[in-house]
């Protein structure tokens, strides 16, 4: 009985969280070739059709996969609802949701190294949908194409590296939190300004993956800001979201 009460209470808590986070995020779906990608989009408070706005694409982690078009808002979405942020940085913010059986990045999971990243990522149908969604949003809304940003956490950090690899000249800035990729792709993804963050106690996605990407990007003359958080596990996004310099840094970038 106690377990049932606790379960109900937790369900109510999460439902209330989603109600708060999603109040200004409009639910939408991108459909192509019989497939559908749910996403949430936040427009500036005083959106005007004759203006162009920066656009941020946010890729969630593996725990938020599904098709409810809500769970992807669990980490990070609240930042962009802050009244001061919205006043200073009128922007379009998009949170797509990865299907439960899919992954943002082309990786192989194994017991020893956790993940194997490909030098030349294979065809990724999920990122095909993300690209189609992004192009549709750009054509539908006023988007400043000199200020398109992408970033994500964990699986979303991995997807960020791969999406930039597929679109090396599209983004002004990118951030990858506790993610990873094959360092050999660094030459192709050097154009955006990068921020990479990771906790050194992360046992889910080892910090070595982010360190390897930072070293490879620096060798290819990319502009990289990076932070290694001491004794932080696989939740370093909390450190990033609490950093008062994070959003000003991101929205100051321009191609």
Tokens of 16: 């209330």
**What is the number of helices (H) and of strands (E) in the chain?**
7, 10
Helix or strand (DSSP H, E) at 30: strand 26-32
Report the pLDDT value the prediction gives residue 109, as an integer from 0 to 100: 86
pLDDT in tens, 58-90: 999 999 999 999 999 999 999 999 999 999 999
pLDDT mean over 186-205 = 98
pLDDT in tens, 206-249: 999 999 999 999 999 999 999 999 999 999 999 999 999 999 99
Task: Say how far apart CA 207 and CA 97 lie, in whole Å.
Answer: 25
Range of the domain at 47: 2-251
Q: Could you give the residue ranges of the DSSP H alpha helices within the chain?
A: 2-21, 83-88, 125-140, 155-166, 208-219, 237-241, 246-251
11: pLDDT strictly greater than 90: no
Instruction: Decide: 162 and 213 in contact? Cβ < 8 Å.
Output: no
Give 181 or 110, the one with higher predicted confidence. Answer: 181
| pTM for this prediction | 0.91
Report the pLDDT value the prediction gives residue 12, as an integer from 0 to 100: 52
Classify residue 25 by its DSSP letter.
P
Counting residues of the chain whose pLDDT is more than 70, the rounded percentage is: 91
Pick from 232, 189, 196, 193: nearest CA to 211: 196
Report the pLDDT value the prediction gives residue 168, as an integer from 0 to 100: 97
* Domain CATH code at residue 22: 3.40.50.1820
pLDDT mean over 130-154 = 98
pLDDT in tens, 158-171: 999 999 999 999 99
Total domain count for the chain?
1
Report the pLDDT value the prediction gives residue 23, as an integer from 0 to 100: 61
Q: SS3 for 20?
A: helix
């Amino acid at each position: 009985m106690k377990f049932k009460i606790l379960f109900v209470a937790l369900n109510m808590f999460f439902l209330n969280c989603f109600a708060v986070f999603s109040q200004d995020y409009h639910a939408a779906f991108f459909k192509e070739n019989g497939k559908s990608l749910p996403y949430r989009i936040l427009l500036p408070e005083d959106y005007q059709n004759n203006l162009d706005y920066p656009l941020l694409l946010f890729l969630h982690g593996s725990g938020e996969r599904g098709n409810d078009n809500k769970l992807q808002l669990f980490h990070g979405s609240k930042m962009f609802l802050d009244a001061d942020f919205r006043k200073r940085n009128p922007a379009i913010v998009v949170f797509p949701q990865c299907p439960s059986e899919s992954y943002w990045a082309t990786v192989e999971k194994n017991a020893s190294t956790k993940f194997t990243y490909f030098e030349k990522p294979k065809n990724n149908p999920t990122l095909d949908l993300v690209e189609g969604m992004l192009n549709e949003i750009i054509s539908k809304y006023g988007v400043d194409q000199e200020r398109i940003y992408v970033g994500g956490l964990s699986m979303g950090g991995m997807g960020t590296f791969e999406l930039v690899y597929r679109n090396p000249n599209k983004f002004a800035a990118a951030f990858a939190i506790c993610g990873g990729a094959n360092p050999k792709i660094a030459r192709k993804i050097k154009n955006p300004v990068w921020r990479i963050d990771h906790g050194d106690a992360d046992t889910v996605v080892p910090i070595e993956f982010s360190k390897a990407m930072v070293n490879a990007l620096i060798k290819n003359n990319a502009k990289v800001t990076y932070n290694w958080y001491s004794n932080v596990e696989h939740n370093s996004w909390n450190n990033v979201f609490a950093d008062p310099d994070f959003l000003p840094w991101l929205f100051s970038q321009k191609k």
